[in-house]
Structure 1
Amino acid sequence: MIPNRVGESSGPVFGESDLGGVDNDMTLVNGGEAIGQRIFVHGRVLGFDGKPVPHTLVEAWQANAAGRYRHKNDSWPAPLDPHFNGVARTLTDKDGHYHFYTVMPGNYPWGNHHNAWRPAHIHFSLYGRQFTERLVTQMYFPNDPLFFQDPIYNAVPKGARERMIAAFDYDETRENFALGYKFDIVLRGRNATPFE
């Protein structure tokens, strides 16, 4: 076994200087406006004890309003939006808060079973203090009519599914700009947010 040396890090170390001013906004690309209903997604990252987890890297990615991901392996023929990049990242503040601007993701078909469509969702990846401390989950939206046939959502025990659903948050809606959704993420314990 190789001993750790003082100053070594077992993973990436991110700080405010590693993030750009609009890294948490998926809608500001190529000088135009993304197509779709703008949303403001916010929440807190909490430990098993309910205490905030500060300075955690939170990454998010999603399909655009038409249900298309920007990566080359997405074969769904929905249009790409040149003003939407579909990825964002930010650090939680000292109280564990994070936020993103994006658009409501579209549904898309996938070949898991006959006439299979994914509910609207946003993927989240959180990194802790070490590279091995990572949570990957999905955030869903209230009352999606496609929950009944989604194997990822239904693989989670019924009592835990609500921890994957954002709450509409009128108080955080940005007037004449974006609807608000709150999604708190609990990293461990009985009330942990389910892994993807």
Structure 2
Amino acid sequence: MGRSPAADAEFMMRDTTSHPPAYAPAYKTSVLRSPKNALISLQHSLSEVTAPVFRADELGPLDNDLIKNCAKDGLPVGERLLVHGHVRDQLGRPVKNALVEVWQANASGRYRHKKDQYIGALDPNFGGCGRVLTDENGYYFYRTIKPGPYPWRNRVNEWRPAHIHYAISGHGWVQRLITQMYFEGDPLIATCPILRSVPSEEQIRGLIALQDTSAFVQLDSRAYRFDIVLRGQRATLFENHVQGTPQ
């Protein structure tokens, strides 16, 4: 089922300067994956300004609890975390009922994937994926285990910082965002070739979750706050009010 598009449903133009370039030679796999020709710009149609509608009853009761949603004969090993934040658009408006999907490595830096052959141990009680819907205020939260860093073959001895992958589905397909969240204070952030392809230090800081001591769970979990910004929906102004809204 798709959302019904509003009369002013077109979204704001994508700011290409806020994203890393597709071609970043220091991040070696981008060389073959990046487009060789300039992208084509098209006017928005229904396929861009609409998106699936998600209902709370479609999610399981433990979907946002990565500590328990794959546990079989015990709890997963590692530091327990609560991650929370808001999903808003470029104009600061909350994006309600957005689907936030996350996936990550376990505490030893290994993914639950048959092609991950890192020597880090698999955790039989940790699946490493979850999802949650934002509320009326665009707020979301989930529980998890802090992921470990892991080596990768970009160059001989490089390590990825601890991170959690995000996929966010908002009110239209043009709001779809795939990104990664990093942790405040991780020394590997400064040398990561993927992060070094991000245009500015300010934008890198936007990918780093800050420790939130006010949300710590006593004798249980630390907490991090990570806010997300999606593309905003254009508002058509007519005689000083938004067209289609009450005066």
Tell me the TM-score normalised to structure 2 length.
0.71
Letter in 2 for 1:111: R
Q: Determine what percentage of the aligned residue pairs are the same residue.
A: 46
Matches within 5 A, 1:104-119: 104-119=146-161
Name the aligned partner's letter for residue 121 of structure 1: H
- 1:37: how far off? 0.4
Contact 2:95 2:171 in 1 (8 A): no
Query: In the TM superposition, what is the alpha-carbon distance from 1:11 to its structure 2 partner?
Result: 4.5
Equivalence for 1:15? 55
> Aligned equivalents of 2:227 and 2:190: distance in 1?
23
* Aligned partner (choices 148, 161, 179) of residue 137 of structure 1: 179
SS at structure 2 position matched to 1:32? coil
Identify the residue that residue 30 of structure 1 maps to in structure 2. 72
Q: 1:145 deviation in Å?
A: 1.1
Other-structure match for 2:141:
99
Please name the residue that 1:153 is paired with.
195
Query: Which residues of structure 2 form unaligned runs of 5+?
Result: 5-45, 233-247
Equivalent residues, number: 185
In 2, Cα distance between equivalents of 1:84 and 1:162: 29
Does the aligned pair in 1 maintain the 2:175–2:231 contact within 8 Å? no
**Closer/same/farther in 2, CA of residues 31 and 12 from structure 1, 3 Å limit:** farther
Which residue of 74, 81, 84 maps to 2:123? 81
Displacement of 1:69 = 0.4
Within 1, Cα distance between the matches of 2:135 and 2:63? 15
Q: What's the Cα RMSD here?
A: 2.0
Report the residue type matching 1:169 in the other structure.
D
Name the CA distance, whole Å, in 1 between partners of 2:116 and 2:173.
Answer: 28
> What do residues 14-34 of structure 1 show as CA deviations (whole Å, max 9, x unaligned)?
110110111001111214211
What is the SS of the residue equivalent to 2:206? helix
Tell me the distance in 2 between the aligned counterparts of 1:54 and 1:39.
Answer: 24
Instruction: List, as ranges, runs of 4+ consecutive aligned residues in structure 1 with deviation greater than 2 Å.
Output: 8-13, 129-133
Q: Provide the secondary structure at the position in 1 that maps to 2:168.
A: strand
Partner residue, 1:193 = none
2:168 matches 1:168: no
* Secondary structure at 1:33 match in 2: coil
Task: Tell me, yes or no, if the aligned pair for 2:66 and 2:127 is still in contact at 8 Å.
Answer: yes
Q: State the one-letter code of the partner of 1:103.
A: I
Partner of 1:184 in structure 2?
Answer: 227
Deviation at 1:131, TM superposition (A): 4.1
Select 1:124's aligned residue among 137, 143, 166. Answer: 166
